[in-house]
Amino acid sequence: MSEFTSDEPTGPVDVDQCSSKTSILIGAVTTCVLSFIPIINMLCCLHYVVAGLVSVWHFTSRHSVTIETFKGIKIAFFSILLGGLVATIIGDALFLASGGGNLDGLKEMIIEKVEQEGGPQSEQAVQFIEQFMPDEITPVHLIGIFIFQVVMLAIGSAITGAIGGALGAAMFKKGPATQ
């Protein structure tokens, strides 16, 4: 085709007209799936950065555009946040279904370890554990733990989304610049 009859845009593309929902969902699925692979979790937050890269790659490939760094960060952030939230809910449900809400064994193990270590304040430590560590996780504990997980996920998504999104925007230049 000649340059005058080409269907591809040659000038700046309005990126706000390009839907990012599919790219965010693909990144979210990547985040969720990679979150359950133990060896990947040992690499800190690398799976979040990879998911951010995947979502930005999909967006730039699908719309054949080169995006600004902030747009890449935004796409990566939302994909990581959504996928991390789904992974957190699934992980918490599996934890509770496997009997993880019973802390008796953990409490006894901690007390036994403190008593073995000895030391001048071991008696006080044992009393503190017996007094303040619950025997079971109550609904109030679950709500508090979930809120903590979501806050940490939001912070982690912002950091890793910035890394993955910025890298993706710099690496995947597929066409004209965006407005």
Q: Does residue 48 lie in a domain region?
A: yes
What digits encode the pLDDT tens for the residues 93-103? 888 888 776 66
What digits encode the pLDDT tens for the residues 50-89? 999 999 999 999 888 888 999 999 999 999 999 999 999 9
Q: Does residue 118 lie in a domain region?
A: no
Q: Does residue 28 lie in a domain region?
A: yes
Q: Does residue 85 lie in a domain region?
A: yes
Buried b (16+ CB within 10 A) or exposed e, 13-37: bebeebebeebbbbbbbbbbebbee
Please give the average per-residue pLDDT across 96-115, as a whole number: 77
Q: Does residue 77 lie in a domain region?
A: yes
Q: Does residue 151 lie in a domain region?
A: no
Confidence of residue 13 (pLDDT cuts 50, 70, 90): low
- pLDDT for position 25: 95
- The mean of the pLDDT values for the chain is 83
Cα 80–chain centre separation: 5
Domain of 39 in residue numbering reads as: 18-98+158-171
Q: Global pTM?
A: 0.75
Cβ count within 10 A of residue 149 = 16
Q: Does residue 66 lie in a domain region?
A: yes
Confidence of residue 164 (pLDDT cuts 50, 70, 90): very high
Whether residue 41 has pLDDT greater than 70: yes
Q: Does residue 167 lie in a domain region?
A: yes
Cα 79–chain centre separation: 8
150 token code pair:
């979501």
Whether residue 141 has pLDDT greater than 60: yes
Query: Out of 76-80, 163-167, 170-174, which region has the weakest mean confidence (pLDDT)?
Result: 170-174
Q: Structurally, how many domains does the chain consist of?
A: 1
Buried b (16+ CB within 10 A) or exposed e, 104-123: eeeeeeebeebeeeeeeeee
